[in-house]
Amino acid sequence: MNRITSPELLRAEISGEREDKITNVFLWIMIAVVLVFILLRGFVFATVYVSGTSMYPTLNDGNYLVGDRLAARFGNYGYGSIVTVNTTEKESNGAYKKIIKRVIGLEGDVIDIRLGKVYRNGEEIDEPYLPRGVVTSPHTTPMPYTVKEGEIFVLGDNRGISHDSRYSDYSRIKTSQVYAVIPEWVIKHLDLVQKYYGANLPRNAELN
C-alpha cells in the first residue's frame, strides 16, 4: 500500500477520486437516459424522417421529427394538428406506409372545397400555415364530404402535390390509423430538432 507523506499529495489523491466519481456518475446517467430512450421509443414517442414535400413549406424533405404516440392513442389532436398516419398500403419490408398530413376535419364535419378554398361546416377555415395565394383543388373525393364516425379528414400543406383526403383512397382515414401527433414545439423549434437530434434519430418512419 502506498503511503501519502505530503498534505499536497493527499489533497491531489482525494481530488482525483472525486473527479473519477463524478465522471462515473455522469456516465451512468447518460447510460440510463439512452436506455429510457430505447424503451420508450415506439411506445411513448416516435422518431420520424420525412421523405417528400407534401407538407412544404411547414416541413421539408429530409426533416427529422419527434412524434407523440400517446397523444395519437388518446385522440389528443384537433383542427390544424400535424399527424402521421398508417395507410393500408404495404412497403417492401411489410410495414404499412405512413403519410404525414394536417387534420382538417373530425367526425361529423362537412368538408367542402370550392373556388380554391376549404370550408368546414359551411365556413371558410383560416389556414395561416399556407403561403398567401395557395389554391386548394378538389380531386376524386366527392364534395361536400361528411367525415364518418371514427375518422378524420387530412390535407397536406403543399396542396399542389399532396395525396390526401381529397383522393378517394385516402378519404376514409380512421382515427385508429393515426400513428403519432407532431407536437407544436417540434414545429416551432424545427431547426433545433435538426441540429441536436437529427443525426441520431433512426429513419424508422419515412413519410410523404
Task: Using alpha carbons, list the distances in angstroms from residue 197 to 130, 181, 185, 189, 202.
Answer: 27, 18, 14, 12, 10
> Are 162 and 138 a contacting pair, CB within 8 Å?
no
> Are 84 and 99 a contacting pair, CB within 8 Å?
yes
Average pLDDT rounded to a whole number, residues 78-96: 88
> Are 150 and 176 a contacting pair, CB within 8 Å?
yes
Residue 40 has pLDDT above 80, yes or no: no
Residue 207's pLDDT is 55
Closest CA to 85 of 105, 100, 107: 100
**Catalytic residue list contains 101:** yes
The highest-level CATH class for domain 45-207 is mainly beta
**Rounded Cα distance, 49 and 130, in Å:** 22
Q: What is the pLDDT of residues 44-68, one digit of tens each?
A: 888 888 989 999 999 999 898 989 9
**Catalytic residue list contains 188:** no
Cβ neighbours of residue 156 closer than 8 Å, sequence gap 6 or more: 54, 55, 100, 101, 102, 162, 163, 164
Closest CA to 171 of 197, 153, 183, 194: 153
CB atoms closer than 10 angstroms to residue 191: 9
The rounded Cα 113 to chain-centroid distance in angstroms is 26
Choice among 81, 98, 101, 165 that is catalytic: 101
Q: What is the pLDDT of residues 125-161, one digit of tens each?
A: 999 999 999 999 999 999 999 999 999 999 999 999 9
Residue 184 has pLDDT above 90, yes or no: yes
pTM comes to 0.76
**Rounded Cα distance, 140 and 196, in Å:** 41
Residue 205's pLDDT is 46
Residue 31 has pLDDT above 80, yes or no: no
Choice among 54, 81, 165, 171 that is catalytic: 54
Average pLDDT rounded to a whole number, residues 19-25: 68
Between 26-40, 42-56, 158-172, 176-190, the lowest mean confidence (pLDDT) is in: 26-40
Q: Quick one: cell of 31?
A: 447510460
Residue 204 has pLDDT above 90, yes or no: no
